[in-house]
Amino acid sequence: MKVAPEIQKKLIDLSFLDNEIAALNLKIQNHPIKARFLELQNRVPGIEATKVENMSNIEEIKKQINKIELDADNIKKRIENDTKRLNSSETNPKQLTQIQHEIETMNLKLSEIENKELEQLSQLEEMLDKQKNLEVILDQINHDLKLQKDNLNKDLLEIENNLLDLNKSRTELITVFIPELIKLYEKIKQDHGIGAGILDKNKCGACQITISPAEFEQIKKTDPSEILRCENCRCILVRI
Ligand SMILES: [Zn+2]
């Protein structure tokens, strides 16, 4: 294929644009904020689940405390009634001993229940603190997520605008090439990553390999309009 040298040189501009486009597409794909965003987002379900579990424990312990309080109230009423009977003139001595014993037993039971209630109340307090902490952590994560999302969107918008400009320049640039050359360039780019490189002295600008003196001599003798290919990376070698 023969292409005027000044048109061949424009392949280097095209290659430069394509490298920039590829780099920006890669940046969109592997944007560091995306990883940070996902890492934060992945923490949310675990914290939500712990919050639900802790809330269920809070409800359960509140029920237990209510039950303990009811039991304590009942015992207190029984102690009150027994104390009235104890102080009544109608109670005989045998009953008195029995009532005193009952009051002692119930006081012991009451003290046991009240200790249990204190323990449960302390556990409840810990659970409520835990719930508050979980909410603070979730709020912080949601705040960070929003911040990261805003930053990411801002960055992506900027990259996409750059891509639009680059693609516009590319569309304009490729009109100077014959379709056959573009087809060849695209095929090489697809297979080897780079479509064209500068022949810099005796070195391929795409793969940096040094061309043998014999081959270089051959190149120098070749018609400048002839399309050359690098033996190593297969890209189009553009003489400047
Ligand atoms: Zn090469």
Give the model confidence (pLDDT) of 6-36 as tens digits: 999 999 999 999 999 999 999 999 999 999 9
Whether 102 and 80 map to the same domain: the answer is: yes
Last residue of a domain, one of 125, 147, 172: 172
Whether 39 and 1 map to the same domain: the answer is: no
- pLDDT digit string (tens) for 61-86? 999 999 999 999 999 999 999 999 98
**If you average pLDDT over residues 125-139, what whole number do you get?**
98
Last residue of a domain, one of 172, 200, 216: 172
Whether 50 and 154 map to the same domain: the answer is: yes
- Residue-range definition of the domain harbouring residue 69: 31-172
Amino acid identity at 122:
S
Ranges 86-95, 173-182, 192-201: which has the least confidence? 86-95
pLDDT(104) > 90: yes
What is the residue-averaged pLDDT of the chain? 95
- pLDDT digit string (tens) for 203-222? 999 999 999 999 999 999 99
Q: How far is the CA of 230 from the centre of ligand 1 (A)?
A: 5
Whether 45 and 19 map to the same domain: the answer is: no
**If you average pLDDT over residues 154-182, what whole number do you get?**
97
Whether 166 and 191 map to the same domain: the answer is: no
Whether 165 and 236 map to the same domain: the answer is: no
For residue 174, what is the DSSP state?
G
Find out whether 47 and 178 touch, Cβ atoms under 8 Å: no
Whether 92 and 163 map to the same domain: the answer is: yes
Count of CB atoms situated within 10 Å of the CB of 33: 17
The CATH code of the domain that includes 150 is: 1.10.287
Find out whether 43 and 141 touch, Cβ atoms under 8 Å: yes
CA dihedral 39, 21, 203, 216 (to 10 degrees): 140
**In this prediction, what percent of the chain has a pLDDT beyond 90?**
91
Q: How far is the CA of 197 from the centre of ligand 1 (A)?
A: 7
Q: How far apart are CA 170 and CA 165, in angstroms?
A: 9
Q: How far apart are CA 78 and CA 68, in angstroms?
A: 15
Look at residue 91 in the predicted model and tell me its pLDDT: 78
Whether 164 and 183 map to the same domain: the answer is: no
pLDDT(127) > 90: yes
Whether 155 and 39 map to the same domain: the answer is: yes
Look at residue 69 in the predicted model and tell me its pLDDT: 97
Q: How far apart are CA 14 and CA 9, in angstroms?
A: 9
Look at residue 9 in the predicted model and tell me its pLDDT: 96
pLDDT(89) > 90: no
pLDDT(223) > 90: yes
Look at residue 93 in the predicted model and tell me its pLDDT: 85
Q: How far is the CA of 209 from the centre of ligand 1 (A)?
A: 6
Whether 98 and 115 map to the same domain: the answer is: yes
Q: How far apart are CA 188 and CA 197, in angstroms?
A: 11
Task: State the residue for tokens 């965003």.
Answer: 37
Q: How far apart are CA 89 and CA 10, in angstroms?
A: 120
Q: How far is the CA of 229 from the centre of ligand 1 (A)?
A: 8
Whether 162 and 182 map to the same domain: the answer is: no
Look at residue 160 in the predicted model and tell me its pLDDT: 97
Joined together, the tokens standing for residue 23 give 């780099």
Q: How far is the CA of 170 from the centre of ligand 1 (A)?
A: 23
Per-residue pLDDT band for 88 (boundaries 50, 70, 90) equals: confident
Q: How far is the CA of 71 from the centre of ligand 1 (A)?
A: 89
Q: How far is the CA of 10 from the centre of ligand 1 (A)?
A: 18
Per-residue pLDDT band for 92 (boundaries 50, 70, 90) equals: confident
pLDDT(115) > 90: yes
Q: How far apart are CA 180 and CA 223, in angstroms?
A: 19
CB hemisphere CA count around 204 (13 angstroms)? 23
Last residue of a domain, one of 156, 172, 188: 172
Number of domains in the chain: 2
Look at residue 240 in the predicted model and tell me its pLDDT: 86
Closest CA to 77 of 100, 101, 110: 110
Whether 10 and 37 map to the same domain: the answer is: no
